[in-house]
A and B are shown apart, each in its own frame.
Chain A
């Protein structure tokens, strides 16, 4: 499973982003997306294209965690969203490792071969890595979002941070990485 996490301001300006891989079931925490390395911007395209749905979903109920809201089938990318009360959006794109048989998504054959080892973990359907829409995954993502939210609040309390500024704090980045390792 590979993840791309981004924070967007209420006016959709990107404040923070990070790519990482799963650390569960033997993962090494390094992101391996199906897009070739030259097309990593696809993550941003996919994630930003879900913003319309976020804006629809945000009024549906009072929850901050909107769960899995969008799927981009060509890349098997799943998007979960979390809204802070002030309208900052946390978006997480997750992409399960590619099973060896499918090769329709444009990932190079070199890339997909590197997944063959990891994809054996798909066998257990309850593991977070295997099934992006299972309740277990929703719960893990919720925990992750909450932990990031907590650290986000602390970070924006810093007097040198101004509303709408890019978050460059190395401490925050470390905390997000740690939360990813812990929950995803």
Chain B
């Protein structure tokens, strides 16, 4: 399935199958969660990143079901197709954004998502305590969502942000790597 076809599916679903809500509601709710986590963990940003990832993981595991029900797409033939599906259909129907898929490694197991826009990060300015700019990945929940969602369809991946405009970088980039396809495991035989 080509990239353009994926974009078309995404557009179509966004128009017909998706309930919309106010973007600022999402932005403010998510912002509040992150700010609250920072407070609860005493500005231990590594821990906040971890918690956001964990929250995302729990969302992803359930979201994939919703995604497949809405989109009605079949199995992806390879990881490249999976990447397009995530960027052009997944992000499109849940957030109305389509990050760019790029920077593939030669073995087709690693790619980057470049977010030109990020509804979670509108209005946000990181705390100026001298550490948040270097340690906090504000949108880290995305990493967990992808990890959780793909795990439910037999792909173990690793995802992390490598740059964020909130930190003063030029782009917001997430690196996604395929660890392995999870084979169906037989239940241990009963003796």
Contact = CB atoms under 8 A, between A and B. Distances in A.
B128 interface: yes
A155 B128 CA distance: 14
Contacts of B182: none
Secondary structure type dominating chain B contacts:
helix
Secondary structure type dominating chain A contacts:
loop
Contacts of A160: 31, 35, 38, 124-127
A158 interface: yes
Nearest to A156: B123
A133 interface: no
A182 interface: no
B34 interface: yes
Interface string B31-46: 1101100100000000
B73 to A, nearest CB: 34
A31 B86 CA distance: 53
B95 interface: no
A23 to B, nearest CB: 26
Contact of B32 (A154, A155, A159, A169): A159
Q: Which of A154, A157, A169, A171 gathers most chain B CB within 10 Å?
A: A157
Contacts of B127: 160
B97 interface: no
A173 to B, nearest CB: 12
A158 B128 contact: no
Interface string A147-166: 00000001101111100000
Interface string B5-48: 00000000000000000001001101110110010000000000
Nearest to B138: A159
A168 B27 CA distance: 21
A155 B57 CA distance: 30
A159 B166 CA distance: 13
Contacts of B31: 158-160
Nearest to A168: B128
A159 B35 contact: yes
25 contacts: A154-B123, A155-B123, A155-B125, A157-B24, A157-B28, A157-B122, A157-B123, A158-B31, A158-B124, A159-B28, A159-B30, A159-B31, A159-B32, A159-B35, A159-B123, A160-B31, A160-B35, A160-B125, A160-B126, A161-B125, A168-B128, A169-B125, A169-B128, A170-B128, A171-B125
- Lowest 4 CB-CB distances: which A-B pairs, in order? A159-B31, A157-B123, A159-B35, A158-B125
Interface of A: 154-155, 157-161, 168-171
